[in-house]
Amino acid sequence: MRIRIVGAGPAGLLFALLARRRRPRWRIAVHEQNPAGATFGFGVVFSQGALAFLERDAPDLHAALAARMESWPMQRIVHRDEAIDIDGNGFSAIARLQLIQFLQELCRAAGVKMQFGHRLESLPAADLVVGADGLNSVVRGTPGFEPQVEWLTNRFVWYGTRQRFDCLTLTFRESADGAFVAHHYRYSADMSTFIVECDVATWQRAGLERMSDAESRAYCERVFAADLGGQPLVSNNSTWRQFPLLANRIWSAGNRVLVGDALRSMHFSIGSGTRLAFEDAIALDRALAEAGEDVPGALAAFERERRPVVEKLFTAASASSYWYEDFPARMRRLGALGLAYDYMMRSGRMTTARLQALSPRFMARVDAAGLSA
């Protein structure tokens, strides 16, 4: 059986590795338009327990990956110079490039063929073509899929910095032009991700749409000077963008199937993009293990297992993204503790009882302030 995977991101590489391990005689190849050492962005983050599925399905990968990650047992919200720690809300992070290189090494050792630096003009001949090529998917652009995209209005830009942070932190700041929020966390011993977000009115008043990269970084460094500790922001294809909420009504067409961000995009505030990419890869490999070379049967089984989970998380991620669309008004209305509590309840998945069990110290403060009533 010939399997061709378009895209060498987390979903494509993990699926290639698992499928090759399970079926060594299958001919599996990965096609990637970027060079092997190229990646955009800085770190990727996983919520506490998000890698439990990997520990269950690929314990050796989980152990090797966990040893490479930065981890912390809490999250922090900073507003009006007050820091609120949310216990029990832990995360782990790793450099995206380190994660990709780790998976590439495992794929090479397993005998997966990988081609880099070549953009496909047409899909390769194969028994199964897996579209793991992200938001700008070539596979999704072929006939049969029905993508739907909603563009959020906020603008965001993805930077890095050498400032180390204790944990995943949301820092809310105001400038003369309006409200900003930074999503930041360390992903290695000496680097952190630093995403800056603002509403469109602030973005326009600040003139960020007209600024060069250097001017934009300098502006953001001024807004978050108290948090960066004198460290500069670092660019890597860092441009101001709007986030697309992408979904597909049709997951597979003929012998083609979508996984990861090619299938759907989850807002970065929910921290589930790479996790879902991994889960897609595991589920598709498991479906093929059960169906063998019955590709239509395998793709139907993959969708039956994954669609309910994905749609539930997509709904939560969308609710989280809408919370950010309104964050300037929330900043004006709420103090630090109230904003932190409002943030924790934003997706609709969290209940007060669940949050009390998860974060007892945080909720003791919330209850004492009468915010949960």
User: Looking at the chain, which residues constitute the CATH 3.50.50.60 domain(s)?
Assistant: 2-71+92-151+245-324
Percent of the chain with pLDDT over 70: 99
Q: Residue 373: is its pLDDT beyond 70?
A: no
For the stretch 170-196, pLDDT in tens is: 999 999 999 999 999 999 999 999 999
Length of the chain in residues, anyone?
A: 373
Among 215, 235, 237, 217, smallest CA distance to 225 is for 217
Q: Residue 353: is its pLDDT beyond 80?
A: yes
Please tell me which residue, 251 or 347, carries the higher pLDDT value: 251
- Which CATH number among 3.90.180.10, 1.20.1070.10, 3.50.50.60, 1.10.3720.10 corresponds to the domain 2-71+92-151+245-324? 3.50.50.60
For the stretch 73-113, pLDDT in tens is: 999 999 999 999 999 988 999 999 999 999 999 999 999 99
- Token pair listed for 11: 């979903």
CATH for the stretch 155-234: 3.30.9.20
Contacts of 51 (CB under 8 A, 6+ apart): 62, 65, 66, 92, 275, 278
Tell me the pTM: 0.94
For the stretch 273-308, pLDDT in tens is: 888 999 999 999 999 999 989 999 999 999 999 999
Please tell me which residue, 208 or 373, carries the higher pLDDT value: 208
Backbone angles phi, psi at 195, to 5 degrees: -95, 125
- Give the model's pLDDT for residue 119: 82
User: Looking at the chain, which residues constitute the CATH 3.30.9.20 domain(s)?
Assistant: 155-234
- Token pair listed for 202: 């602030």
Backbone angles phi, psi at 265, to 5 degrees: -110, 135
